[in-house]
Amino acid sequence: MKSSSLVSNNVTIFEVASQAGVSYGTVSRVLNQDQHVKAETRERVMKTIRDLGYVVNRQARSLAGGKTHIIGILVPDLGTGYIGEIIQGINTELQIASYDLMLYTTHRTPVLEADYVASLAQGMVDGLLLVLPRNPEDYIGILNSRHFPFVLIDHQGIGQNCPAVGATNWQGAYNATEYLIQLGHTRIGFITGWMDLGAAVDRLEGYKAALWAHHIPFTEDLVRQSTFHQLDGYNCAMDLLNQPVPPTAIFASNDVMAFGAMDAVREKGQRIPEDISIVGFDDIPQASIIHPALTTVRQPLRNMGNVATQMLLELLKNPDTPTKRIELPTGLVVRDSCQPPRG
Amino acid sequence: MKSSSLVSNNVTIFEVASQAGVSYGTVSRVLNQDQHVKAETRERVMKTIRDLGYVVNRQARSLAGGKTHIIGILVPDLGTGYIGEIIQGINTELQIASYDLMLYTTHRTPVLEADYVASLAQGMVDGLLLVLPRNPEDYIGILNSRHFPFVLIDHQGIGQNCPAVGATNWQGAYNATEYLIQLGHTRIGFITGWMDLGAAVDRLEGYKAALWAHHIPFTEDLVRQSTFHQLDGYNCAMDLLNQPVPPTAIFASNDVMAFGAMDAVREKGQRIPEDISIVGFDDIPQASIIHPALTTVRQPLRNMGNVATQMLLELLKNPDTPTKRIELPTGLVVRDSCQPPRG
DNA sequence: AATATTTTTGTAAACGCTTCCAAATCCGCG
DNA sequence: CGCGGATTTGGAAGCGTTTACAAAAATATT
């Protein structure tokens, strides 16, 4: 009986109804777990459904009911596994709630981003998960005014209070910097992410705060503005290392830039961690497979996906759930890329 | 006018029709580029559509027309960037054809796989892209008998001829093995993937063929059956290295197992490539960032996504396009993980 | 100028479901 | 036994399209 749903094509509630000797309204009620059905009738209908291999037509259901049971997710790309992890988290929750996932990648094109959001919000999906959005200012206002449910992942929101889940970026950067300081480092290079992203700013601030707390003067000479990309990480690290008095440690604002920094260090003929310590941020899967394994600040990516999805589903169920921003804790993962400075 | 579509919520063809002074049928015809509309009328309707910010309701359209303009993609996971690359390729094509993408991850649970396929084929999507399917036998027959359009990516199909795109696995493995042989290696370890996947078998066969062509005796002692996972790659490599006469090179059937092998080599206190050469397969993004950069057989993943999508779209447009299987060429990417054996 | 032909437009009937309202059935109790 | 209220069921209407068919308008033909 299992695969009969694949075999028989177009069973409708009408066929189920006539087979079970009830009206189609009753079948619909059973399908929607309406309480107003006699237990015995429900049983009979469910059996018929199984026998006939009936599967509800989602299009019809959403036309009639106004809900699609699809949620959309907008991501910048799928390159690094960073997004992949988040999606796994989202997926788990969605599966439980039996929602479907519509995936859109923007490749960081703001135009696309706004367009997608426009047409999605038009009824294609019930809610939206926006991962690492680049220019949400363009549309968040509109989504809000239309009361369209959405949750931001890894973005601070934009002044207005929107539902969002992020991580304690500041604290993570603070802890990582402090770890390096406690190892004895005082000249710690820092490579930022896109500074238009709140997370990148927070990480820089955490770094500064840790220096400050340990009475180490902050200097712009040790900071390089970058883009979260590996190659830029490489270039910035190179630049940092070419200074008259180079840093003894480099803290990159994400893991792939840390990988780039590692390349730079090696190209200068120096060793990690003996000559230079490296710290990353994110703890993407590759961080533990690279050699030496990267010490990094772990973001609970999967968990962020879980939580964001739960928030969105809650929002769908109960639209006036108060808006909240959740920050999941980050944690320092100590591996092999750091040690006290030489001498 | 740009964002009016976001502002106004429920414009239907009826409103457009009355605004434009035509019947709703005509609007529908304009929407579907039906030729039977006077040019002037078409213009007027299109203007109204723009003015009102009308957007077609996809649910209604597919209920009536039978097509969803959504294609489904079934992937095992999103962990390694391998799938991510393929998805990028798919996405590009889909964007051009303005189809939407529904993503399902199976985590390699055969049950899920079959269930998904069942309900998807039920009308949720117009076609299916099956990436690296594990047990397609369970449902390919049924899909075929229902004439449901699908394309396999990175799978050999199952005897029957189904549309599929793959890569020249045999040739790639042959070339990589030959490369090692030409460097002077004669004891070349080989770590397989899941042997229930055709691609894995082909790679093993390519390896064997190259040995044979160069009169190097094949021995099971140098082959380990594995699973495409990093940890298993590590274990198999360890096992290989612990033999009385260990290999001087290891060829892993994919990159992440090669990463695992690298870990094993290092743990044995040996260096890459000085003591042991390593070759992978796939050329996922990480292969070039790991240190030493991995010599590997490049699969044109993005391209495979492109081609598969084009095939599927063609199949949708013209259901009796003859079935074909396309094999895209692989190529050896020489980086830093190999050198001639010592001594 | 009248008819035949073609092009364009209007309309009704699906598509498969949800949901509301009214009708039927059931139950307990006087 | 009959009545009121609660529970259960049936059926109509509507969701926003597409599409087949018929009607109307435009054009060509004699």
Inspect the interface and report whether the beta carbons of B290 and A285 lie closer than 8 Å: no
At A45, list the tokens.
Answer: 């209908």
Inspect the interface and report whether the beta carbons of A100 and B100 lie closer than 8 Å: no
Query: In this structure, is the CB of residue B143 within 7 Å of any atom belonging to strand C?
Result: no
Burial of A160 (0-12, 13-18, 19+ CB in 10 A): exposed
Per-residue confidence at B37, pLDDT binned at 50, 70, 90?
confident
Structure letter (DSSP) for residue B113: H
Min distance A102 CA to chain B CA atoms (Å): 4
Query: In this structure, is the CB of residue B48 within 7 Å of any atom belonging to strand C?
Result: no
At A30, list the tokens.
Answer: 């059973």
A62 lies in a domain? no
Beta strands in B236-302 (DSSP E): 249-252, 277-282, 295-298
Domain membership of residue B238 as a residue range: 169-300
- Note whether B192 and B115 are same-domain residues: no
Position A212 pLDDT exceeds 90: yes
Distance B65 CA to D18 C1' (A): 5
- Note whether B129 and B218 are same-domain residues: no
Distance A44 CA to C24 C1' (A): 20
Edge-to-edge order in the sheet of strand B223-224: B223-224, B188-191, B249-252, B277-282, B295-298, B331-333
Query: In this structure, is the CB of residue A58 within 7 Å of any atom belonging to strand C?
Result: no
- Strand D contact set, beta carbon < 7 A: A 21-26, 29, 35-41, 60, 63-64; B 10, 12-14, 24-25, 28-29, 31-32, 54-57, 60-61, 63-66
- Note whether A75 and A160 are same-domain residues: yes
B61 lies in a domain? no
Could you tell me the CA-to-CA distances from B75 to A293, B103, B132, B199 in Å, in that order? 28, 8, 7, 16
For A299: left if phi > 0, alpha if psi spans -120 to 50, otherwise beta; the answer is beta
- Note whether B71 and B188 are same-domain residues: no
pLDDT digits (tens, 9 = 90+) for A300-310: 999 999 999 99
A295 lies in a domain? yes
pLDDT at residue number B222: 98
- Note whether A178 and A271 are same-domain residues: yes
- Note whether A194 and A282 are same-domain residues: yes
- Note whether B9 and B47 are same-domain residues: yes
Concatenated DSSP letters of A124-172: I-SEEEEES-S-THHHHHHHHHTT--EEEES----SS---EEEE-HHHH
Distance B58 CA to C19 C1' (A): 22
Mean pLDDT in residue range B208-236: 96
- Note whether B95 and B144 are same-domain residues: yes
Position B4 pLDDT exceeds 50: no
Position B89 pLDDT exceeds 70: yes
Output the domain CATH number for residue B44: 1.10.260.40
Burial of B217 (0-12, 13-18, 19+ CB in 10 A): exposed
pLDDT at residue number A237: 98
Count of structural domains within chain A = 3
Inspect the interface and report whether the beta carbons of A6 and B146 lie closer than 8 Å: yes
- Note whether B140 and B233 are same-domain residues: no
Whether a cis peptide bond, with omega within 30° of 0, leads into A273 is yes
Query: In this structure, is the CB of residue A12 within 7 Å of any atom belonging to strand C?
Result: yes
For the stretch A235-239, contacts whose Cβ atoms lie closer than 8 Å and that sit 24 or more positions apart, written own/partner, are: A235/A260, A235/A264, A236/A191, A236/A260, A236/A261, A237/A189, A237/A191, A237/A261, A237/A263, A237/A264, A237/A265, A238/A264, A238/A267, A238/A268
pLDDT digits (tens, 9 = 90+) for B246-304: 999 999 999 999 999 998 998 898 999 999 999 999 998 889 878 789 999 999 999 99
Mean pLDDT in residue range B328-337: 97
A162 lies in a domain? yes
B338 lies in a domain? no
- Note whether B199 and B274 are same-domain residues: yes
By Cβ distance, the residue of B68, B70, B84 closest to A79 is B84
pLDDT digits (tens, 9 = 90+) for A1-50: 333 334 446 789 999 999 999 999 999 999 988 888 888 889 999 999 99
- Note whether A91 and A236 are same-domain residues: no
Burial of A266 (0-12, 13-18, 19+ CB in 10 A): middle
Q: Last residue of some domain: A284, A299, A314?
A: A299
Mean pLDDT in residue range B100-120: 77
For residue A10, give the nearest of B215, B232, B140, B122 by alpha carbon: B122
B306 lies in a domain? yes
A341 lies in a domain? no
- Note whether B218 and B232 are same-domain residues: yes
Mean pLDDT in residue range B160-177: 93
B336 lies in a domain? no
Inspect the interface and report whether the beta carbons of A6 and B117 lie closer than 8 Å: yes
**Best residue in A100, A140, A232 for a mutation probing chain B (most B CBs within 10 Å):** A100
By Cβ distance, the residue of A103, A105, A122 closest to B55 is A122
Output the domain CATH number for residue B80: 3.40.50.2300
